[in-house]
């Protein structure tokens, strides 16, 4: 890489993937395949309705039974607590199990046997399949449907009598079974309570405790206090060792009087001797100004000084011994505390097993005691309920005359619509899954694990722009919508802020496959940068299928291949000014070469890229796709990284993963990804939208401040071209 091409920090690709299917992805898939869902729903519903309409007419009738009548007898018993009647404050509802019993062979077989004398073809399955029993509070609604209206009347009359007889027998049978069951269970429950009480008593006596939780809390608190004391002692021990080592090192020094240990600073005896030594040093200094070193006065003072130094050293050694004693005491205390902590932890560990056993026994004792009390109360309640003799249920609506029913067609239509809806949703998810296309920017970010530099909305003006011919581009004023222009301005700002200390001066725009819109992104990214005051050069390096000159309405008589292959051609002669922005300049691809990778990897291409970057504030290279080609790798290695464009609704997940793997393997730097053709509506509250809310007209217009800013580079190019 050239010295002046400072790379922006590259981002590593994370191979990990987030599994699972999110709700947003499911909703998006259903929304994309709504025609398939609607078609399946309508088709299945229509088929089910037609089938029902073509069938033989069905007759239906019904009756109603009150399952909880209020009688004088029930009112009296309800005043007694724990009876079944007293617990029925709200209307009783028939449960699923009881509904199954009402339609079981136990109740229906006698009815079938009586009907077979008149209807020989009748059987249990036919009766149950058409018999509906639906509870509604304390009302039980029973209906029957069949093509024979007389059979409907006979079935319902027999069923109503059978249900009333069942209610009476069921109540008495339930009470008898309840009493028998309670009597059988009471001895076992008493034994369970006594067993758990004995286990709890033995556990307390064995471990000499009342409540393991309380004892465990006490031991934990003691262990915590000892741990804190040990930490304090270890801290003191470390401090004492450090003082000991410092003092020991200073005492080995010949100049004991220069010792500055903190422990010596606090020793009064040592400081007193040190003060006397310093006084003698001052006197020696004063006398040395008057007497010679061999004079008696100086000799006397030197002798006194020499006598004090051993005293200082002995005092220091005494302090050192005291520190050593203190260290031994701290070590002994630390070992004692460690042993006590280990003992407490062992006791806590042992107590945890006891606490668990204690909790299990206590829980089983509570359950056994509660069950025993409930069974004793239920036994008395059953004895009181057994005194009732009235029939529990009452027929409040007798079977009416059977009438033709249209419910079959309606039911089939509803069921067909529901089945079609679920079938359509399943097919929609299957089709969307098989396509494996990326539709949202969130999926792009999740797969790539790269910064999402920008989200370009799906804009018809962008697709129409690509379809215009060169003459149409020159002859008309092209308008780019504000949300689209805002998205490209935001994209450029994000690229520019990737590294504030070293702004991006050159980048490569590429994509995994054809049709992702990389050239469109490259053009309008360069246009946005130019509109924001940057001197921008857009280079078409897709030497296999060049398209920038077509999109921008340029002649492409001379281009990049000419500048590299022709040593006599100056690159500035091939650069043209774009009609999109005054600050935007374009270097077309030129003639298609035989070997594009060799041309892009040449030394002259590298020199040319350095020359272009030195003349422009931003150079954007529109490169070929990544899959199967090496062109992008060669270009990106000489720029500051790749802006990776992904076409939402077009790019398949395996293509993106394969392209990222190729970039990772080659070490190509990646600046981030751009999600192109996003169908979500853009936000109208962003800064760029407020700044560029009006339409920008590309063509004839009044000169703007950005255009005035671009005058220097325009003059520079004209000067080079000799204009």
Please determine, for residue 13, whether its predicted confidence score (pLDDT) is greater than 60: no
| pLDDT grade for 541, boundaries at 50, 70 and 90 | very high
| pLDDT grade for 672, boundaries at 50, 70 and 90 | very high
> Distances in Å between the alpha carbon of 538 and those of 255, 374, 485, 541, 627?
77, 87, 17, 9, 23
How many angstroms separate the CA atoms of 214 and 201, rounded? Answer: 17
Please determine, for residue 704, whether its predicted confidence score (pLDDT) is greater than 50: no
Q: What pLDDT, on a 0 to 100 scale, did the predictor assign at position 70?
A: 53
Question: 610 and 4 in contact (C-beta within 8 Å)?
Answer: yes
Average pLDDT, stretch 348-358?
78
The DSSP letter of residue 117 is T
Please determine, for residue 558, whether its predicted confidence score (pLDDT) is greater than 80: yes
Look up the CATH number of domain 212-378.
Answer: 1.10.287
Give the burial class of 540: count Cβ atoms within 10 A of its Cβ; 0-12 exposed, 13-18 middle, 19 or more buried. Answer: buried
Q: Residue-wise over 112-147: b if at least 16 C-beta within 10 A, else e? A: beebeeebeebeeebbeebbebebeebbbebbbbbe
Dihedral (CA of 353, 355, 356, 360) sign? positive
Q: What pLDDT, on a 0 to 100 scale, did the predictor assign at position 717?
A: 45
Give the burial class of 342: count Cβ atoms within 10 A of its Cβ; 0-12 exposed, 13-18 middle, 19 or more buried. Answer: exposed
User: Which is it for strands 696-698 and 618-622: parallel, antiparallel or unpaired?
Assistant: unpaired
| Candidate CATH numbers 3.40.50.300, 3.30.565.10, 2.30.140.10, 3.40.718.10; the one for domain 441-452+476-671 | 3.40.50.300
Higher pLDDT: 366 or 404? It is 366
Residue with tokens 């069974």: 375
The DSSP letter of residue 620 is E
Q: Give the range with max mean pLDDT: 21-25, 301-305, 365-369, 386-390.
A: 365-369
How many angstroms separate the CA atoms of 199 and 215, rounded? Answer: 19
Render pLDDT for 405-453 as a digit per residue (tens, 0 to 9).
655 566 667 777 777 777 777 776 776 666 678 888 888 888 888 999 9
| pLDDT grade for 476, boundaries at 50, 70 and 90 | very low
| Residues in contact with 246: Cβ distance below 8 Å, sequence separation at least 6, in sequence order | 261, 262
Tally DSSP H helices, then E strands, for the chain. Answer: 27, 15
Could you tell me how many residues make up the chain? 723
* Closest to 62 in 3D by CA, of 307, 380, 405: 405
In the beta sheet, which residues pair with residue 32?
none
Average pLDDT, stretch 543-570?
87
CA angle 238, 242, 245 (to 5 degrees): 135
Render pLDDT for 366-397 as a digit per residue (tens, 0 to 9).
898 888 888 888 887 877 776 665 677 888 88
Could you state, in order of their start, the residue ranges of all structural domains in the chain?
A: 22-58+406-435, 212-378, 441-452+476-671
* Closest to 438 in 3D by CA, of 677, 670, 92: 677
Render pLDDT for 100-157 as a digit per residue (tens, 0 to 9).
888 888 888 888 888 888 888 888 888 888 888 888 878 888 888 888 888 888 888 8
| pLDDT grade for 508, boundaries at 50, 70 and 90 | very high
Average pLDDT, stretch 41-62?
72
Average pLDDT, stretch 277-301?
77
Question: 406 and 52 in contact (C-beta within 8 Å)?
Answer: no
Higher pLDDT: 228 or 21? It is 228
- Look up residue 493 and give its two tokens: 């700002």
In the chain, what percentage of residues exceed pLDDT 70? 76
Question: 77 and 83 in contact (C-beta within 8 Å)?
Answer: yes
| pLDDT grade for 695, boundaries at 50, 70 and 90 | very low
Question: 124 and 112 in contact (C-beta within 8 Å)?
Answer: yes
């Amino acid at each position: 890489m050239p010295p002046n091409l400072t790379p922006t920090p590259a981002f590593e690709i994370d191979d990990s993937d987030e599994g699972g299917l999110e709700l947003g992805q499911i909703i998006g898939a259903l929304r994309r395949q709504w025609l398939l869902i609607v078609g399946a729903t309508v088709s299945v519903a229509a088929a089910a309705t037609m089938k029902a309409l073509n069938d033989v007419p069905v007759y239906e009738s019904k009756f109603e039974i009150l399952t909880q009548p209020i009688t004088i007898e029930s009112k009296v018993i309800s005043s007694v607590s724990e009876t079944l009647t007293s617990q029925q404050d709200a209307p009783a509802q028939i449960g699923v199990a009881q509904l199954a019993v009402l339609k079981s062979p136990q109740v229906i077989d006698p009815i079938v046997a009586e009907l077979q004398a008149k209807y020989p073809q009748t059987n249990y399955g036919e009766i149950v399949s058409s018999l509906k029993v639906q509870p509604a509070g304390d009302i039980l609604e029973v209906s029957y449907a069949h093509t024979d209206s007389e059979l409907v009347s006979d079935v319902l009359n027999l069923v109503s009598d059978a249900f009333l007889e069942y209610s009476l027998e069921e109540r008495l049978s339930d009470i008898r079974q309840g009493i028998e069951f309670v009597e059988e269970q009471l001895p076992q429950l008493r034994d369970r309570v006594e067993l758990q009480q004995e286990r709890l008593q033995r556990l307390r006596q064995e471990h000499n405790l009342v409540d393991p939780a309380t004892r465990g809390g006490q031991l934990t608190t003691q262990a915590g206090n000892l741990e804190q004391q040990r930490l304090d002692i270890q801290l003191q021990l470390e401090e004492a060792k450090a003082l000991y080592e410092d003092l020991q090192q200073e005492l080995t020094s010949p100049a004991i009087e220069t010792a500055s240990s903190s422990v010596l600073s606090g020793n009064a005896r040592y400081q007193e001797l040190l003060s006397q030594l310093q006084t003698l040093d001052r006197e020696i200094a004063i006398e040395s100004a008057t007497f010679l070193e061999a004079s008696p006065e100086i000799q006397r003072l030197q002798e006194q000084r020499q006598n004090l130094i051993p005293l200082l050293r002995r005092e220091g050694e005494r302090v050192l011994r005291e520190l050593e004693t203190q260290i031994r005491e701290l070590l002994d205390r630390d070992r004692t505390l460690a042993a006590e902590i280990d003992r407490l932890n062992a006791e806590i560990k042992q107590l945890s097993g006891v606490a668990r056993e204690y909790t299990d026994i206590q829980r089983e004792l509570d359950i056994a005691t509660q069950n025993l009390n409930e069974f004793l109360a239920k036994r008395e309640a059953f004895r009181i309920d057994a005194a009732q003799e009235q029939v529990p249920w009452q027929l409040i609506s007798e079977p009416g005359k059977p009438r033709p029913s249209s419910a079959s067609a309606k039911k089939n239509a509803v069921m067909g619509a529901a089945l079609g809806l679920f079938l359509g949703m399943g097919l929609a998810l299957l089709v969307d899954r098989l396509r494996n296309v990326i539709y949202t920017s969130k999926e792009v970010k999740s797969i790539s694990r790269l910064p999402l530099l920008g989200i370009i909305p799906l804009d018809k003006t962008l697709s129409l722009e690509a379809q215009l011919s060169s003459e149409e581009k020159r002859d008309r004023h092209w308008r780019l919508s504000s949300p689209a222009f805002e998205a490209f301005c935001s994209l450029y700002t994000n690229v520019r802020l990737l590294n504030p200390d070293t702004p991006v001066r050159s980048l490569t725009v590429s994509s995994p496959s054809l049709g992702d819109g990389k050239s469109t992104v490259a053009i309008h990214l360069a246009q946005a940068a130019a509109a924001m005051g940057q001197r921008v050069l857009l280079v078409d390096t897709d030497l296999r299928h060049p398209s920038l000159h077509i999109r921008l309405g340029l002649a492409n008589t001379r281009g990049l291949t000419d500048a590299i292959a022709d040593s006599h051609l100056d690159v500035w002669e091939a650069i043209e000014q774009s009609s999109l922005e005054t600050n935007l300049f374009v270097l077309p691809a030129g003639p298609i070469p035989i070997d594009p990778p060799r041309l892009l990897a040449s030394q002259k291409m590298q020199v040319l890229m350095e020359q272009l970057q030195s003349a422009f504030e931003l150079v954007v290279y529109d490169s070929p796709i990544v899959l199967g080609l090496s062109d992008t790798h060669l270009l990106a290695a000489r720029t500051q990284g790749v802006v990776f464009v992904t076409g939402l609704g077009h790019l398949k997940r395996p293509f993106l993963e394969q392209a990222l793997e190729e970039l990772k393997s080659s070490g190509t730097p990646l600046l981030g990804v751009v999600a192109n053709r996003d169908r979500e509506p853009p936000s109208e509250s962003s800064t760029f939208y407020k700044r560029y809310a009006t339409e920008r007209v590309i063509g004839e217009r009044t000169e703007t401040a950005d255009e005035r800013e671009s005058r220097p580079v325009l003059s520079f190019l004209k000067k080079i071209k000799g204009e």
